[in-house]
Structures are given as C-alpha cells and as structure tokens.
Structure 1
Amino acid sequence: MAADSSLPPLSLIISSTPESTLYLSNALALLFEPSTLLFSDLIPELEATLRKPTSAITTYTALIDKTLEIIRAWPDELKAKFVGAHPRIGEVKGLSAFSAKEQGQANGNAGSSVAATSPMVLERLAHLNACYERRYPGLRYITFVNGRSRAVIAEEMEGVLGIPHSLSLDQPPAEALGVVEVGSAEWRSELNRAVEDVGRIAKSRLSALGMQ
C-alpha cells in the first residue's frame, strides 16, 4: 500500500468510519515507513486504542507517542522487524519520498540529490552496515540524521561499533567484530535506542509537513 504525500486531517483517523483505517494506514506509512508489520500488527492495535472512550489523541504528535508506546511493549522480534523497515544509512535505491529527502539532506545540502554523496563514503557506509549487522544480529543501524552528513554518520557508526576511525573503506573486516548475543542487555539497549530514533524521525517528518 503506498502512502499519500500529505497527512489527512486527524479527525478522519479517529473517526469510526470505514475509511478511517485507510487514513491511519497512509498516515503511519508516511511517518514511519510502510511495512508488512505496520499494516498487519501496528494498525489494528493502534485502531483498538483509538476507539476506546478514554482515548485522548488530539494531535499527530500524540498519535506518534501512542504508536511508540505500543511498539515499546512489543516483543523484541517485532521491534527489530519494525526498525528494519527503515532503509540502511547510505542506501540510494527503493527509498520512500521522505527517506530520499532525508538521505539527500544528509549530504549537507537540503536541495542536493542522494547521488551527490561521495562514492567512497557510500562504500564505507555499506561496510559499516555489514559490520553493525554482524555485531548485532537481527538489527539494522537506524539513527536520526537531523541534517548531518553521511560522513559524520559513518564516524558515529564507528563509535557505536567501538572501532577507530579509518580512511580505509573495508576495515576492519566484519568477521573480526565480536557478536553480541541476541536478547542480551547490550543487544536490547541498541534495539530500544533504534526504536526511539524511529520516533524522532517520525516527529521530524511531521514537523516538515508543518503539522503537530
């Protein structure tokens, strides 16, 4: 299901009309990235919450907060799948409109294209993604870019991985990194950090649309 390029009035989402599910689906796909899990699990659970008499969702910010509250309560496996719906840092193909814009802004120029990033930086990021996904099995590195360059994000990833900054594109070998046990405190901490950054990205998108 493709998301529309704008958000519907919140009143259409919190109504009990048959169309409200479509409006909610389009809104969340725009703010959080479309995924099978979003449509199969998140939308029904969020709808059930919105239909309760005690629901007091009056802004999109509150809707995002409620969405995050639901995701935080999910088992780790679902959280990881949801986070994995966001593209890897440095990807240039198959991006949603918002992801493409955010990746383009990460070059340091809000009007530049994704392809403007140095090929060497993209290659380094691809290697760091492989390193991260070896170290944290089942996770994908997600961060709130917030206008920072991809080169800066590469250095951030090196810090998260505990490896020194390197101008080499493929060092250290991914196989040289230790593997963090799935479900361990460190693994879950990284997973929960990613969930919170997904929420920050959603609120940034909301702001970019001039809404709150």
Structure 2
Amino acid sequence: MASLPALADIQASSSSPQSPLANALEILFEHSPILINALEPQLNAVLKSSPTLDSYVQLIDAALVELANWDVGAQSEFISGHPRIGESANLSKLSASEQGAQGVIPTPPEVLARLEHLNALYEVKYPGLRYITFVNGRSRAVIAEGMEGALKIPHSLSPDEPRRDSIIPVETGGKEWKTELDRAVYDVGRIAKSRLGKLGVY
C-alpha cells in the first residue's frame, strides 16, 4: 500500500503533476484529471502562504475548502474520480479495502448485479453525479439498501427493476441535485480522513 509523503515535503515542493502534494492527494482522494490539473496547483499556492502543516487532517481540510469554492460542474467531475460502489476492476488498494472487494466473505453475485443496476439508476436520476458514500465497514448489501433509499425505490435484489426509463431525472444544479452533490463531497472528505488510519498517520 502506498505511503504518504512527509508533510514538510508536501508543503515545500513546487506545483507539478508528480509533486509530493499530487501524490498525497491521489492517495487520499483517488486519481482524477481535475485533481491533478486544478486542485493540486490551487492547494499548492494556498499551502505556500499557510502556517506549517501539523497533520494530514489539516491538509484534507484545506483541500475541502478549495473544493467548496469550485463550481458544481468541477465538483461533480472531482467526485467522479471515486469508483462506483460495487466495482472491482481497477480499484486502488484503499478503495478495494473500503468496498470489501478483498473481504473474507465475498459479496453475493446478486448483490453485485443489484449495485450495478442501482448505480445506473442513480446516474439517470442525478445527471452528472456518481453515488459516493462513506462505507465505514458496511457491507455492500447494506450500501445497496442505502442507494435504494436515495432513489426512493423499494428494496429488491432484482438486477433490472425498476426500469431505467421509469426514473425521472432531477434538475441538474437544482436543490435536490445540489443537496446530493454536497453530500457526496462531504463523504469524500470522510473517506479521505478514514484512510489516514489505514495508513497509520493523522
């Protein structure tokens, strides 16, 4: 599992796609182009004029402040760097651990099929968003029930019900859409902070 660069190196380095800050952000938040092309240079400039970092929590909080100032399109692009719930291919080791992809008890195939369908439904209802949640030890079956709640649909293990064409999209940028985006950004921060414990740093 990757290790975080030293805080002193993160704060002292120049901005670049390979900087210690970029490395830390990719570990904590998952790789995405907007993370490297926008967040890294913006946060690098902020850190240059900030007091010495005392913890990685401070680093995460500083990143979240920058994210809060982005427009909703950029925030949506940022959260899409996280894998969909239930995905098992191309996961970072931390994501695999968080999603239980490497668990002792494998996720039943019907739950994985249900999650795949729920992800598709969610992305119809909330155009441009991806379902992000702080798993926090919950099973994929429990997460599926949470997604059903977000979609306001009955609990089921059906891989194709309700039909995608029965889902009515909410207005992009509207109140319900923005509430869901804000929740996702908040949970991205919770995920990042939980990773510190797995990495043995704070």
Shorter-chain TM-score range: over 0.9
Q: TM-score, normalised by structure 1?
A: 0.90
Report the equivalent of 1:180: 170
> Which ranges of structure 2 fall in alignment gaps of 5 or more residues?
none
Amino acid at match of 2:76: A
Report the equivalent of 2:44: 47
Amino acid at match of 2:53: I
SS, match of residue 44 in structure 1:
helix
Q: Which runs of structure 2 are paired with 1:100-111 in the superposition (5 Å)? A: 100-104=96-100, 111=103
> Which ranges of structure 1 fall in alignment gaps of 5 or more residues?
none
Deviation at 1:23, TM superposition (A): 0.9
Post-superposition Cα deviations, 1:21-43, rounded to whole Å, max 9, x if no partner, equal 61111111000001111110000
Report the equivalent of 2:75: 79
Deviation at 1:111, TM superposition (A): 4.4
Residues 18 and 159 (structure 1), Cα distance of their counterparts in 2 relative to 1, 3 Å cut: closer
Deviation at 1:9, TM superposition (A): 1.4
Amino acid at match of 2:51: S
Identity %: 53
**Pairwise CA RMSD of aligned residues?**
1.9
Report the equivalent of 1:36: 33
| Alignment: residue pair count | 202
Residues 191 and 18 (structure 1), Cα distance of their counterparts in 2 relative to 1, 3 Å cut: closer
Do the aligned residues in 1 keep the contact of 2:15 with 2:44 (CA within 8 Å)? no
Report the equivalent of 1:194: 184
Residues 40 and 176 (structure 1), Cα distance of their counterparts in 2 relative to 1, 3 Å cut: same
Do the aligned residues in 1 keep the contact of 2:14 with 2:44 (CA within 8 Å)? no
Amino acid at match of 2:191: I
Q: Matched residues in 1 for 2:145 and 2:26: separation?
A: 30
